[in-house]
Structure 1
Amino acid sequence: MTHGSTVQVFHLPFSFMLPQRVAAERGYFEAEGLDVELLERDRQRVDWKYVPASETLTGDVDVDLYPVCKWESLKRTWSLEDGRIVAHGAFADLPYTFHARPDAGIEGPADLAHVPIAVNRRTGQEYTAMRALEEHLDPEAIELEHHGMPTDRLRALRDGEVEAATLLDPHSTLADHLGFERLFEFENHVGIVAAADLDGETFEAFVRAYERAVEEINASPEAFREGYLEMLEADAEVAPDLFSDVDLEAMRESVTVPTYEVPEPADPDDLEEHLEWMKDRNLIDEGATIERVVAPVR
């Protein structure tokens, strides 16, 4: 791919990806000479998972770049040969939370042993949750159940299908307003995966535009509050039953726009540690190698 070509970017409509949308809407990609097209799935048609688990994004969907949880980036690039990891990072001061039903008698992470916890599998979220829980529980005591998108997890929690769920703001704030108990937090880590033909000049231009958006948001977070809240309000159309008993205006006022970060070039040493952790738990093939999945763009 040559600099100036259309760059197809898969867009996750979640809070940690706000800078990507801002960079597109404010012309920051265009200023770098990039014609970026954000590919989004219709939220109304997403059944359980936003990131497809079986088809490849770089092949079947013809995507040039896509963000996904750091652990899932290892899984996808190895098992599906879906591109190569080029960057990763926390992306935002925006941790995941564990929320529990107030009647479950759960006061802290140690009480989550053998308790069904709603996660969204094959997004990588379950791996971050597992690592966080292993600091408090034996691995065999951790019970994670797939319940899909944030609204699906909240509904499972509300209906008593699970006793706890993992959530990310602004859905964590929604859970607070629904009366669920916030137990503890754990870090969210994201990776960026590129198609094999994405050249270094194009990726560097993409990161410069992304960084410009990060700086804009961090300088004036309140100016981006409406855009940030659009993600939550879109879910009010998908799952109106979750919002019917909530003071939406009070919830809007309690949401804080996070501080964002710029993706860092892929660090094979850092990702090797994550890969070995996955191998130890039979989450990825024993033969998986960093050389096959990580290809820093230069």
Structure 2
Amino acid sequence: MATQHGDPLTISRNHPVFDLPEIVAVERGLFARVGLDVRFADGDTHRHGESRDPIARRKEALFEAERADLYNLCEWGGIDRLERNTRGGYIGYLRPAVVAQALVSFDPALNEPHDMNNVPVGINEFTGSHYTALHLLEGTVPREQIKLEHAGPPAARLEAAARRELPAVMLMEPFLSLALERGAHLLGCYFYRGAQVVAPSLPAERIRAFMSAVNAAVDLINADRASFADRIVEETGGELAPERLRREYHRFTHAEPFTEKRFTESYAWMRSWQLTDGRSGYDALLALREGANAHAD
């Protein structure tokens, strides 16, 4: 057992499919082995009808109010939140969860991205569903004909599609498996990682220790993925049985550094969509940088 160092660390919750390595690391004592006291913030992060302002959403608000030290979200969202918030902070690394956001529909007239010209797609603004919808569609549909509509969290998006209130929506697990079980069909999907946002005062040594515990959890998950399916499907409130969770739309790998090349490409893409005004850069936003000491070393 490693000697504990530093104050306890609090994680602001994301969906379990993204947080599973951290959940396992907490429950199996893997953080304690590297000398970290880590816990999750209380409460449900993904309530129906949450604010459209990203910083006002519970996950981000807890971090902004210094009631959480870390949280994960898509890489584009990580950049966006750090540019919006007043607390500051850094992207520590790319999270282990590699997850598909899929474009799904219950409408038999919609079958491929070519069918989506000027057709509304339900997303949650400034989250992975928003950014991946743009990535997925822009290669086929002219940018000016991509129509996105804010529809809230994934459970709300699924219900809107099932009731035919929206022609198509972006979904990830476990709501993707649930939608397919309920009769939806795929028009396309986009796999992506995400970013781990860390507090501005979190030393590089603790970030690396946190990563090592998360990577150990990934190894446990990959040794028996089926035994962890119940944690992912719990969001559906019993509507999806663990054995019905599809394996092909999510997986877990060791955390990876956010390289300068990848950051530069992602940042340029965000500027092209006016999702950032371009005032930041790799050195300003990354905690563990290539070819340089970390901010707190």
Q: With structure 2 as the length reference, what TM-score do the two structures score?
A: 0.86
Per-residue CA shift, 1:225-252, capped at 9, x if unaligned? 322322333xx5xxxxxx5xxxx55xx4
Q: 1:44 to 1:164 in 2, by over 3 A?
A: closer
**Greater CA deviation, 24-33 or 224-233?**
224-233
Q: Which residue of 2 aligns with 1:157?
A: 161
In the alignment, the residues of structure 1 paired with residue 185 and residue 51 of structure 2 have an alpha-carbon distance, to the nearest angstrom, of: 25
With a CA cutoff of 8 Å and minimum separation of 6, indicate the structure with the bigger relative contact order. 1
In the alignment, the residues of structure 2 paired with residue 272 and residue 167 of structure 1 have an alpha-carbon distance, to the nearest angstrom, of: 27
The offset of 1:117, in angstroms, is: 0.4
Residues 56-135 of structure 1 aligned to structure 2 (within 5 Å): 56-81=61-86, 82-89=88-95, 91-103=96-108, 105-135=109-139
Per-residue CA shift, 1:70-113, capped at 9, x if unaligned? 00111111122441111115x3343111101234x111011011
Q: Which amino acid aligns with 1:138?
A: P
Per-residue CA shift, 1:206-234, capped at 9, x if unaligned? 1111111100010111222322322333x
Per-residue CA shift, 1:169-202, capped at 9, x if unaligned? 2211110111111111101220011111101111
Q: 1:177 to 1:49 in 2, by over 3 A?
A: farther
Q: Which amino acid aligns with 1:256?
A: R
Preserved CA contact (<8 Å) 1:29 1:35: yes
In the alignment, the residues of structure 1 paired with residue 226 and residue 16 of structure 2 have an alpha-carbon distance, to the nearest angstrom, of: 18
Query: Which residue among 265, 279, 282 is the counterpart of 1:287?
Result: 279
Residues 27-42 of structure 1 aligned to structure 2 (within 5 Å): 27-42=29-44
Q: Which residue of 1 aligns with 2:25?
A: 23
Q: 1:123 to 1:44 in 2, by over 3 A?
A: closer
The offset of 1:124, in angstroms, is: 3.7
Aligned length: 281
Residues 1-298 of structure 1 aligned to structure 2 (within 5 Å): 3-42=5-44, 45-48=47-50, 52-54=54-56, 56-81=61-86, 82-89=88-95, 91-103=96-108, 105-233=109-237, 243=239, 248-249=240-241, 252-257=242-247, 258-296=250-288, 297=294
RMSD across aligned C-alpha pairs, in angstroms? 2.3
Secondary structure at 1:128's aligned position in 2?
helix
Secondary structure at 1:86's aligned position in 2?
strand
Secondary structure at 2:192's aligned position in 1?
coil
Per-residue CA shift, 1:33-84, capped at 9, x if unaligned? 1110211432685533699533654331432111011001111111224411
Secondary structure at 2:99's aligned position in 1?
coil
Preserved CA contact (<8 Å) 1:53 1:122: no
Per-residue CA shift, 1:100-156, capped at 9, x if unaligned? 1234x1110110111100111122431121011111111111111111111110111
Secondary structure at 2:161's aligned position in 1?
helix
Gaps of 5+ in 2: 289-293
Gaps of 5+ in 1: 237-242
Q: 1:211 to 1:64 in 2, by over 3 A?
A: same
Preserved CA contact (<8 Å) 1:266 1:295: no
Preserved CA contact (<8 Å) 1:49 1:149: no
In the alignment, the residues of structure 1 paired with residue 187 and residue 123 of structure 2 have an alpha-carbon distance, to the nearest angstrom, of: 15
Q: 1:44 to 1:149 in 2, by over 3 A?
A: closer
Q: 1:286 to 1:33 in 2, by over 3 A?
A: closer
Q: 1:88 to 1:43 in 2, by over 3 A?
A: closer
Q: 1:3 to 1:269 in 2, by over 3 A?
A: farther
Secondary structure at 1:259's aligned position in 2?
strand
**Greater CA deviation, 45-54 or 264-273?**
45-54
